[in-house]
Amino acid sequence: PSSSFVQQLGFTLIVTLPITSATRMALFSRGRIGTLRVFGPDSDGIIAACSDLIGKHGCNIVKSETWSDQKENMFFNRLAFTYDQPDKVACQQELTEICKDFHLENRLNWRDRKKKVGIMVSKYDHCLWELLLRHSAHELPEMDIELVISNHPDLQSVAETFHVPYHVIPITQETKAEQEARQLELLKNVDVVVLARYMQVLSGSFLRQFPENIINIHHSFLPAFMGGRPYQAAHERGVKLIGATAHYATEDLDEGPIISQDVISVTHRDEVKDMMRKGRILERNVLLKALEAHLDDRVIVHKNRCIVFGD
């Protein structure tokens, strides 16, 4: 269908196309699964043009998900496809021409290598444990954890348990610029930075090195309960929901495009320690969900929000 047809329907379209079991097993076992994301002004023929291009180069579309923002007349599409031996350079060149004609942006990823991830952490260990355990259990096959950077030595034993290099780089106001330069040097070959409860504010110059590739996690009390004791403040206020938010880090502190969120109910029976325990569980799960979506190329950032396609 055309993108305008999808727009008229007013909902997200997910199409899964058939592929023989033998081909699927052969291609998936070799990891030959690529993704294409396109977005821009909506118009007729976008889906057909992109699908024809993928098919022309011997790729087989296994999933297509589309969303049209009727208010802004914006079109968003993600294709997942299997492939064998396409001409990748020619495909990208032809895609660039198609997107130029439609005034679209594109992200074509053949996913022929794992993304390299760097983790930054302070003293809270729950998110670090979650990432390292999941990776050790091969539940995050799209990535390799290259290193952990911290401004404290407290969690070094955690990283060493999984044989991941751990670098301690203390930060003070006077040394911030110099120490961030050291951090960037360590992260120079990294694709994605995960702030697993890293309690330092990154500078604009640092953030600009990883646009839309730094994922942060924090509780969802902001901006109502700011400061160093949000759970205590929320408990005193008698809140009935607590939550966690994972977002891309930007120069607007804790206001970057949101990738994932979740909430859980609390009652007057919950003490502060109970709320903190529930909050930690949420933070682990939400951070993991956001990272999985990022690694799977299911996120498109438009202005200050994320379009996140299904898994």
Q: Could you give the residue numbers annotated as active site?
A: 254
Residue 244 to residue 275: CA distance in whole angstroms: 12
Q: Is 266 left (phi over 0), alpha (psi -120 to 50) or beta?
A: beta
**How many other C-beta atoms can be found within 10 angstroms of the C-beta atom of residue 271?**
12
Residue 205 to residue 43: CA distance in whole angstroms: 37
Q: Say which residue the tokens 């120069």 belong to.
A: 251
Tokens at 204, concatenated: 């604009």
Q: What is the DSSP letter of 72?
A: T
Residue 128 to residue 132: CA distance in whole angstroms: 6
Residue 104 to residue 151: CA distance in whole angstroms: 41
User: DSSP readout, 215-236?
Assistant: EEEEETTTTTS-SS-HHHHHHH
Q: Say which residue the tokens 């091969």 belong to.
A: 138
